[in-house]
Amino acid sequence: MSRSLQRLAARKQLLLAQSQLQRMQLSVYAGDARDALRPAGVVGSAIARPAAAIALVSTVARLFGWNRVARIARLGAIALVVFRFARAWRGSAR
């Protein structure tokens, strides 16, 4: 009897730890989304709007556990920023 009570107590602690971890992950993802949507005035809307959309897709994908989609979205965001900076730099060099 004591053994099953100990097993139940350990299971309860494990479930509580898992729920706390999921709650922390959700708050990190929400913070990432909030940060991605915020910098429109700082970076410039030409970069921030598409990058914010990609970051939002990445965040939603991570919430659903689609890590490959999230990774592709992050790489797309980096490629977009590099492309925009290269185009702006090439335009200012003329």
Neighbours of 57 (CB within 10 A): 18
* Angle of helix 2-37 versus helix 45-63 axis, rounded to 10: 160
CA distances from 26 to 35, 59, 64, 71, 92 (A): 14, 10, 11, 17, 41
Q: Which domain holds residue 51?
A: 2-93
pLDDT-derived band of residue 10, with 50, 70 and 90 as boundaries? very high
How many distinct structural domains can be found in the chain?
1
Q: Could you read off the pLDDT of 19-77 as tens digits, one per residue?
A: 888 888 888 887 777 776 665 554 455 556 666 777 777 777 777 777 777 777 778 77
